[in-house]
Amino acid sequence: MIKVVILGAGNVATHFFKAFKKAENVEVIQVYNRSEASLEVFKSNTQTTSDLAKLKKADIFLVCVKDDAIEALISKLSHLDGIVAHSSGSVPLSTSAKRNAVFYPLQTFSKQTEVNFKEIPICIETSVAKDLPVLKQLAHSISEKVFEISSEQRKKLHLAAVFACNFSNYMYSIAEDLCNQNEVPFEVLSALIKETAQKATLHSPKSVQTGPAKRNDQATIKQHLAQLNNADYKEIYKLLTQSIIQQDGKKL
Amino acid sequence: MIKVVILGAGNVATHFFKAFKKAENVEVIQVYNRSEASLEVFKSNTQTTSDLAKLKKADIFLVCVKDDAIEALISKLSHLDGIVAHSSGSVPLSTSAKRNAVFYPLQTFSKQTEVNFKEIPICIETSVAKDLPVLKQLAHSISEKVFEISSEQRKKLHLAAVFACNFSNYMYSIAEDLCNQNEVPFEVLSALIKETAQKATLHSPKSVQTGPAKRNDQATIKQHLAQLNNADYKEIYKLLTQSIIQQDGKKL
């Protein structure tokens, strides 16, 4: 049985708590939070405390507080014998605890939505080699996708996620705007958007690239540019088209 | 019973044929194709011909040939009494037949993949008002998503799809490249990519935009730009970030 103490009571903490509750061989023996009020929801299911001095003995202390509060909290946990793992994508592995680790679920969480953890990749990292097996075991207890990722890799992953998620969403957003301008329901594009995402995750996105830029179809590209009257969108269309054409040129 | 003749024997024709076969109140009474060889697969299920003079009498003649062959084929069908509908996203409504129409499924088809037509939007258009009901009925027989879209709107939709699909796929492709460069499995991003697409189709993508640009988090933006050593990717990161920040500025 892996004994876990969760520190924090926000979205990530709540989702972890629910997932571990269903997991075999894992027990959340305590939830800590600075403010007592947010602990209410946990009280019927486990012990709670707002006093760091009263943390129980556990195998893993899982820090689920805001990025800018992580290091300050971990620095107060240097006396603990268990693994101290934070759950952030952008904060490096700490050096303040005895046994520092990262246990980072790569997904956006909102309080309302139920989460299927099985599909969510857990990125783990530790500076203490002997801690790796238990971190892996904990990750596998809730997810089928477990990856060992270094702090340096995690930084790059965060950058890659900006392209794959934030920027792709902005592309949807421009499409939505163009639909609205022309009284076409954006919903018409839903199936295609989901299919494109699905395809990209099954194959290499580079290998399934389609469209006028990919075909270097200059007639259509010109037509499209003439249709765009938003200066930003025009620039974006030009730059992405150029970049796709050039990439293909390099391949030859 | 709506009687349909399909003209063409490629991907779109084949997928339509299979879908109509399962539909109630629709019968594909004939498949035409210029070359006899491609008709083989249809022969056990319906009548076939490679001779335009032998087309049967039908309610709808569904033209599923390549974009640049559509107009030439329709011009040979001007004697027909039925509706002549092409299935292309980028070709305008013809004026060559007596009763011209468009019956356009907005999805990419490949021969191997089974298609769930229910989810695929069918965009219909006709110059003959009295033909609209039967076109709608035919569309609803295979899909739950039927939209009346004019040729002008279809042009804009095609442009919007370039952003929503071709360009979003290029964002995935850049993310994949960044992952490869840093020996992070691109698979780590799969769940997030699918969730982002899902979210955008459930809500307005503009309303669920996240990331450093959305937060105007200049420290992270600077860090990311410093990490990018591909000139194209750097330009794209800058332009999209700027555009997201500006859009938000306009809202204030």
User: Got the DSSP string for A11-29?
Assistant: HHHHHHHHHHHHSTTEEEE
The pLDDT-based confidence of A250 (bands split at 50, 70, 90) is low
In this complex, the residue of B159, B168, B194 whose CB is nearest that of residue A201 is B194
- CA B245 – CA A173 distance, rounded (Å): 13
Distance from CA of B184 to the nearest CA of A (A): 7
Contacts of B251 in chain A (CB under 8 A): none
Smallest Cα–Cα separation from A195: which of B208, B172, B91? Answer: B172
For B151-198, the pLDDT digits (tens) are 999 999 999 999 999 999 999 999 999 999 999 999 999 999 999 999
For A170-223, the pLDDT digits (tens) are 999 999 999 999 999 999 999 999 999 999 999 899 998 988 999 899 989 999
Interchain contact, B164 vs A123, CB within 8 Å: no
Counting residues of chain A whose pLDDT is more than 70, the rounded percentage is 97
Smallest Cα–Cα separation from A117: which of A5, A7, A26? Answer: A26
Distance from CA of B59 to the nearest CA of A (A): 26
Interchain contact, A227 vs B200, CB within 8 Å: no
In this complex, the residue of A90, A169, A175 whose CB is nearest that of residue B209 is A169
pLDDT over 80 at A114, yes or no: no
The pLDDT-based confidence of B107 (bands split at 50, 70, 90) is confident
With a CB cutoff of 8 Å and minimum separation 6, the contacts of A71 are A91, A94, A96
Interchain contact, B166 vs A211, CB within 8 Å: yes
Amino acid A252: pLDDT: 45
In this complex, the residue of B166, B188, B198 whose CB is nearest that of residue A147 is B188
Interchain contact, B205 vs A166, CB within 8 Å: no
Interchain contact, B156 vs A184, CB within 8 Å: yes
Which of B67, B116, B166 best tests the A interface by mutation, with the highest count of A CBs <10 A?
Answer: B166
In this complex, the residue of B159, B205, B243 whose CB is nearest that of residue A236 is B243
The pLDDT-based confidence of B250 (bands split at 50, 70, 90) is low
The pLDDT-based confidence of B252 (bands split at 50, 70, 90) is very low
For A65-95, the pLDDT digits (tens) are 998 999 999 999 999 999 999 999 889 999 9
pLDDT over 50 at B142, yes or no: yes
Contacts of A213 in chain B (CB under 8 A): 166, 170
Distance from CA of B39 to the nearest CA of A (A): 28
- Looking at residue A111, the DSSP 8-state letter turns out to be S
Average pLDDT in the B186-211 region?
92
Which of A122, A147, A173, A179 best tests the B interface by mutation, with the highest count of B CBs <10 A?
Answer: A173
Count contacts between A and B (CB, < 8 Å): 295
The pLDDT-based confidence of B110 (bands split at 50, 70, 90) is low
**If you average pLDDT over every residue of chain A, what do you get?**
94
With a CB cutoff of 8 Å and minimum separation 6, the contacts of B106 are A188, A189, A191, A192, B89, B120, B121, B122, B123, B157, B161
Amino acid B163: pLDDT: 98
Q: In this predicted structure, which of A52-56, A71-75, A119-123 has the lowest mean pLDDT?
A: A119-123
pLDDT over 50 at B141, yes or no: yes
pLDDT over 90 at B89, yes or no: no
Which residue's entry shows tokens 């021969």?
Answer: B111
Contacts of A157 in chain B (CB under 8 A): 179, 182, 184, 188-189
Contact criterion met (CB below 8 Å) for A192 and B164: yes
Interchain contact, B205 vs A169, CB within 8 Å: yes
Interchain contact, B173 vs A213, CB within 8 Å: no
Residues in a beta bridge with B62: B6, B85
**If you average pLDDT over every residue of chain B, what do you get?**
93
Amino acid A115: pLDDT: 78
Domains within chain B, CATH numbers bracketed: 2-149 (3.40.50.720), 154-251 (1.10.1040.20)
Amino acid B115: pLDDT: 78
Residue A55 DSSP SS3 = coil
The pLDDT-based confidence of A116 (bands split at 50, 70, 90) is confident
- Per-position b or e across A148-178, b if 16+ CB within 10 A of its CB: ebbeebbbbbbbbbbbbbbbbbbbbbbbbbb
Interchain contact, B190 vs A121, CB within 8 Å: yes
For B22-71, the pLDDT digits (tens) are 999 999 999 999 999 999 999 999 999 999 999 999 999 999 999 889 99
Amino acid A2: pLDDT: 98
Amino acid A55: pLDDT: 98
The pLDDT-based confidence of A251 (bands split at 50, 70, 90) is low
Contacts of A214 in chain B (CB under 8 A): 166
Token code pair at residue A138: 């904990």
- CA A54 – CA A73 distance, rounded (Å): 15
For B215-242, the pLDDT digits (tens) are 899 989 999 999 999 999 999 999 999 9
Contacts of B125 in chain A (CB under 8 A): none
